[in-house]
Chains A and B, each alone.
Chain A
Amino acid sequence: MRAWLFNVGLAGYIALTSLLVYSFPRSVSAFLLFEASLLFVYYAPVSRAAKLFFAAVVLIVLMPLLGSIEGYYLEVAIQIGIFAALALGLNIVVGFVGLLNLGFVAFYAIGAYLWAIFGSLQANAFIPGGHFPLAPAWFFVFLLLSVAAGALTGILLGLPVLRLRGDYLAIVTLGFAEVVRALVNNLDKPVNLTNGPRGITPIQRPPLFFQPLLEFFGFHSDPSALYPLYFYFLVLALLLIIILVTRRLENSPVGRAWKAIREDEVAAVAMGIPVVWMKLLAFAVGASFAAAVGVLFAAKQGFINPESFTFMESIGVLAMVILGGMGSIPGAILGATIVTILNLQLLKGLSLWLNALRQSGMILFLPLLGNFDLSQIPAQFEPAKYERMVFGLILILMMIYRPQGFLPPRQGGSTKLTTGGSTKLTTGGNTGEKQDGAA
C-alpha cells in the first residue's frame, strides 16, 4: 500500500518536473528539480524493479527528449556523465583502497590523446603513408585499447611508487601528472607527436552506424542534431558499464581485500592479502576507467589541448569523490553531479545574474549601510571564475565537518568490519601516533 503511494508520488514528481523543464526551457532551477528526481528514485522505499523502471524512464526517455528541445541540458548531462565516470575511477583508488592519487587526470589525458593522435591527421606527422585519420569505426577499438593503455600506465606508475607512504604517494602522483602534461605540451618536437600547446583538432567522431536503421524507419535527421544524443547514450552506456564493474568488484574478494588494506594494512598483510598486487590492481582499474572516458571526451570535444588536463581537473574529481563519500558508488555519482552543476550552471547563473544587476544600475537601499549603487559591483567579481575557491571550500569544510561525505558507503553484510562507519584514509603502519599526542 505504502509502496504504491510512493510509486505514484515518484511518477507524479517526474512528470511535474519534466513539464516544468519543458515549459521553462531556460530555467536552471527547473532542471535541478528534474535532476533531483533520480536521487528520490534512489532513496524511495519502492521495489527494485520500480526503481530501475523510473531511472530508465528518466535517463533513457525523458532526458533525451528534453535535451532535444534545449540542447544545453544534454550538454550538461554529458558532462555529468563524463565526470561521474572519472569520479568512479578515482573512487576505486581513493575510496576503496585509501591511496590518495592527485594525478588522476594523467590517465584521462593518456586516453584522450590516444584517440586524438590516431583519430586525426596528427599521426601522419610521424607515421608516413597518410593512413590517418583512422575510420570512425576504429573509435570502439580505441575505447578498448585505451582500457589496456590506462591499465598499463597505472601499473607502470604504481610499481615504483606504491611502496611509498600515503602523503608521499600523493605528491608523486601529482608530479607524475605534471610530467605527463609537460610531455604533452612539449612533444611537438623533435617529432611532432602531440602538436604541443596548440592541441589537436579535428578529431574523428564515432560512427553513426545506426543511421541506415533510422532511415529505414523513416527518420531523416541530420548528423549534427544526432551527435549530442548519440554521445549522451554513449556516455550513459560507458557509465553503466563502469558502475556494473565497480559494483561487482566491490562485492568480490578483490573489493574486500581493498577495503581491508584501507582499514589496516598491517592486518591485511597478516591475513595473507597480496597488498602490492591489490594496490596495483586498483591503480590499473581506476586508470583504465579514466583512459576510456578520455577517449570519449576527445571524440566528443573534437579538440583537445594540454589545458584540459591540469592539476585543477584532478582536484575537481577528488572534490567530487569526497563530497559524495569516499568508497561509495552513488556518492561518487552524486558528487560529480553536484560539482558539475555547480560549475556549469549555478556559478555561471550567478555571474549572469550579477551582470544583469550591474547593468540595471539600480540603487539598493540597505538599512544600515546606506545606499549602494548596484553598478558599482566590480566587474572582476564573477563567481564563474572562482571555481578553485569553491573546490577548496568543499574540501576543507567536508574534511572538518563531514569527512565521510554526503552518501557514505552503506555498512552492512560482509563488510561490517569498520568501526564507527567512517571511511578511514590511511596507509602504512605508523598512522598518526604523533597527532594523537598533540591533540
Chain B
Amino acid sequence: MDGVVLGFMYALIALGYTMVYGVLEFINFAHSEIFVIGAFVGAEILLGLESSGVLAVLSPALVVLLLIFAGMLASGLAAVTLERVAYRPLRGAPRLVPLISAIGASFFLQDFIRLVESLWRNTFYLNYPTLDILDKNLSLGAAVEVPLKSVLVIATALAMLLCLYLFVNKTKLGTAIRAVAQDPDAAALMGIPVNRIISLTFFVGGAMGGAAGVLFGLHYSLINPYSGFGPGLKAFTAAVLGGIGNIPGAVLGGLVLGLMEAFAASYLALLTDGAFGAEYKDVFAFAVLILILIFRPKGLLGEKVREDGA
C-alpha cells in the first residue's frame, strides 16, 4: 500500500519533469522546489484556517479540495515565473547551460522558501495540522483496512491524471502542447504561440507538482524547504524509467519505482539476513536509475513515443 501511495506521488511529480522535457528537451532541476512550494502553500493555508478557527466548521472534503487547488495554483505560477526568469533567456544556448541555471534556481528556491518561512514563522520546519478524518481507516471487507490518507492520495492522483490525459489529448491547448513537443518550428509556422504554450506546459507541470506537494504534506505531515530533493530525484528517476517525455510512461515509472522502493524497504533486510536494511532503499532507487540509463536509455515505454510520434 505504501508503495502504491509513493508511486502515485512520484507519478505526479514525474509528470512535471516529463512534460517540460517533452517540450524543451531540458531537465527542470528546480521542479522539486516547485513541489515544495505547493506543500508549503498548503501548510500555510491549513495553519491559517486552524488559527482563525474556520477549520472546525468547514467540511474536511472542502478543505482538502481548497488546499489542492491553492497548491496547484501557487506551484503553477511559480513554475511559470521560474521559466520566464531563469530559463527563457537561455533558450537556444548549449544544452548544459539551462541545466546549470536550473540547478542554481533549485538551490536559490530552497533557501528562499526557508528565508520567507523564517521571517514569517521564525521556523522553517512546518507541521501539517491534522485533519482527524484522515487518520481513520477505511475497511474493505473484514481483514483489510486502508488508511484514508492513502485513499485520498490515490484518488486525487487518479483524478488528476485523468484530467491531464483529457486535457492533453482532447483539447486544443493539449494538441498545441503536443505539437510544440514534436516540432517547435512547424508549430510556430502553424500559428501556435510557442512561448505561451511553453509557459502553459510549465504551469500544468508545476500544478501537478503542487498537488503532489499538498498530498505529500497531508500524508507525511512534516515538511521543510529541503524535503523536495529526495522525492524530486526519485520522480526524475521515475520519469526516465518510464521513458522521459512520455506522459503514460511517467505514471508507469512512478508506480514501478514506488513499489520497488517499498519492496526494498521491507524485504531488503530479509533477503540479505539483516546485513542491508531499509536504509539502502535510496541506493536501490539510484542503482535502478543507472541501470536503466545504461541498458534502456529510452525507458520502459520509450519505443511507444516513436511509434506514436507523440
Q: Does A307 contact B (CB under 8 A)?
A: no
| In the complex, chain B residues 67-114 whose Cβ is within 8 Å of any chain A Cβ | 85-86, 89-101, 103-112, 114
Chain A residues positioned under 8 Å from B267 (CB to CB)? none
The answer to whether B289 touches A175 (Cβ under 8 A) is yes
Cα of A237 to Cα of B221 in the assembled complex, Å: 51
Chain A residues positioned under 8 Å from B85 (CB to CB)? 396
Q: Does A102 contact B (CB under 8 A)?
A: yes
Q: Does B293 contact A (CB under 8 A)?
A: yes
Which residue of B has the minimal Cβ distance to A386? B111
Q: Does B180 contact A (CB under 8 A)?
A: yes
Q: Does B27 contact A (CB under 8 A)?
A: yes
Chain B residues positioned under 8 Å from A98 (CB to CB)? 96
Q: Does B135 contact A (CB under 8 A)?
A: no
The answer to whether A171 touches B279 (Cβ under 8 A) is no
Chain B residues positioned under 8 Å from A425 (CB to CB)? 94-97, 100
Q: Give chain A's interface residues, CB within 8 Å of chain B.
A: 98, 100, 102, 160-161, 163-164, 166-168, 170-172, 174-176, 178-179, 182-183, 185-186, 189-190, 311, 315, 318, 322, 378-381, 386-389, 391-396, 399-400, 403, 424-428, 431-432, 434-439
Chain B residues positioned under 8 Å from A426 (CB to CB)? 94-96
Q: Give chain B's interface residues, CB within 8 Å of chain A.
A: 24-27, 85-86, 89-101, 103-112, 114-115, 118-119, 122-124, 180, 183-185, 188, 194-195, 198, 229, 233, 236-237, 240, 274-276, 279-280, 282-283, 286-287, 289-290, 293-294, 297
Partner of B188, one of A168, A176, A437: A437
The answer to whether A179 touches B286 (Cβ under 8 A) is yes
The answer to whether A175 touches B290 (Cβ under 8 A) is yes
Cα of A168 to Cα of B183 in the assembled complex, Å: 22
Given contacts A167-B27, A388-B107, contact A400 B101 (CB under 8 A): yes
Cα of A435 to Cα of B107 in the assembled complex, Å: 24
Candidate in A378, A387, A439 with the most chain B CB atoms within 10 angstroms: A439
Chain B residues positioned under 8 Å from A172 (CB to CB)? 289-290, 293
The answer to whether A392 touches B233 (Cβ under 8 A) is no
Which residue of B has the minimal Cβ distance to A394? B104
The answer to whether B297 touches A170 (Cβ under 8 A) is no
Chain A residues positioned under 8 Å from B297 (CB to CB)? 164, 168
Candidate in B99, B183, B276 with the most chain A CB atoms within 10 angstroms: B99
Which residue of A has the minimal Cβ distance to B86? A396
Cα of A164 to Cα of B296 in the assembled complex, Å: 11
Chain A residues positioned under 8 Å from B118 (CB to CB)? 378, 380-381
What are 16 A-to-B residue pairs whose CB atoms are below 8 Å? A100-B99, A100-B100, A164-B297, A167-B96, A167-B99, A175-B233, A179-B287, A182-B280, A186-B276, A381-B115, A381-B118, A386-B111, A388-B108, A425-B97, A432-B93, A437-B188
Shortest Cβ gap from B100 to chain A (Å): 5
The answer to whether A171 touches B289 (Cβ under 8 A) is yes
Shortest Cβ gap from B182 to chain A (Å): 10
The answer to whether A395 touches B107 (Cβ under 8 A) is yes
The answer to whether B119 touches A392 (Cβ under 8 A) is no
The 5 closest A-B pairs by CB, nearest first: A395-B104, A392-B108, A380-B118, A392-B107, A389-B111
Shortest Cβ gap from A252 to chain B (Å): 25
Chain B residues positioned under 8 Å from A166 (CB to CB)? 95-96, 99
- What is the predominant secondary structure among interface residues of chain B facing chain A? helix
Cα of A172 to Cα of B299 in the assembled complex, Å: 15
Which residue of B has the minimal Cβ distance to A403? B97
The answer to whether A178 touches B111 (Cβ under 8 A) is no
The answer to whether B185 touches A395 (Cβ under 8 A) is no
Partner of A379, one of B26, B94, B122: B122
Given contacts A186-B279, A380-B122, A396-B86, contact A432 B286 (CB under 8 A): no
Candidate in A186, A322, A395 with the most chain B CB atoms within 10 angstroms: A395
Which residue of B has the minimal Cβ distance to A400? B89
Cα of A100 to Cα of B276 in the assembled complex, Å: 31
Given contacts A381-B115, A432-B93, contact A438 B27 (CB under 8 A): no
The answer to whether B108 touches A393 (Cβ under 8 A) is yes
Chain A residues positioned under 8 Å from B236 (CB to CB)? 171
Cα of A163 to Cα of B297 in the assembled complex, Å: 10
Chain A residues positioned under 8 Å from B94 (CB to CB)? 424-426, 431-432
Chain A residues positioned under 8 Å from B195 (CB to CB)? 438
Candidate in A189, A381, A389 with the most chain B CB atoms within 10 angstroms: A389
The answer to whether B100 touches A399 (Cβ under 8 A) is yes
Partner of B101, one of A315, A395, A427: A395
